[in-house]
Structure 1
Amino acid sequence: MNLILWLLFGALVGWLASIVMRTDGQQGAVLNIVIGIIGAMIGGFLFGGPTINSSSFNLTALLISFVGAVILLAIVNLVRRGSVR
C-alpha cells in the first residue's frame, strides 16, 4: 500500500512541478512520477526535512518534494536549452 501512495504522490508532485516549469506538454505520467521521486530526493538532500520518500505523507513533505522537483526541472531545462524558463 505504501508503494502505491509513493507513486501517486510522486506523480502529483512531478505534475505540479511540470506545470510550474511549463514542461507539462513534453512529459507523460511515467516521467512525472520519476521527476517527483527524484525531486523528493533532491529536496530532502538540500533541506533535510521529511519527503515523500521517507514515508512521511504530510504537507511539509509534499512542499519539500515539490521544491526539489522544481529544482530538478530547472536543472534539466538549463542543460537542455541553456536557459531556465
Structure 2
Amino acid sequence: MEIVWFLLIGLVAGWLAGQLVRGGGFGVIGDIVVGILGALIGGVVFGALGLSDNGSLLGSIIVATVGAILLIVLLRVIKRA
C-alpha cells in the first residue's frame, strides 16, 4: 500500500510543480516521474537543512513539490547551456 501512496504523492507533486513552474502538467506518467525524482531531491535538500516532513501527507507533498521545482529549474538551466 505504501507504493500507492508514493505514486500518488509523486503525481500530485509533479502536477503542482508543473503548474507552478511551467504552467501545465507533464501528463500522468511524466508527473509521477517528476514527482518521485522531486521527492528524492527534496528529501536530500530538506535533510541537509535539518528539516523534516514529520511523516505527514502534506509535508511529504511539500517536500516532493519543492524538489520537483528544483529539478525542473535545474533541467531548464542545463538545457539553455
Q: C-alpha deviations, 1:26-57, integer Å up to 9, x for none?
A: x2211110100110110110111248xxxx34
**Percent identity over the alignment?**
36
Contact 2:38 2:66 in 1 (8 A): yes
Counterparts of 1:1-85 in structure 2, within 5 Å, are: 1-22=1-22, 24=24, 27-48=26-47, 49-50=52-53, 56-82=55-81
RMSD: 1.9
Kept in 1, the 8 Å contact 2:12–2:61? The answer is no
Amino acid paired to 1:12: V
> 1:80, CA displacement in angstroms?
1.8
Task: Figure out how many residues of one structure are paired with residues of the other and give that number.
Answer: 77
The letter for the 2-side match of 1:10 is G
**TM-score normalised to the size of structure 1?**
0.77
How far off its partner does 1:64 sit? 1.3
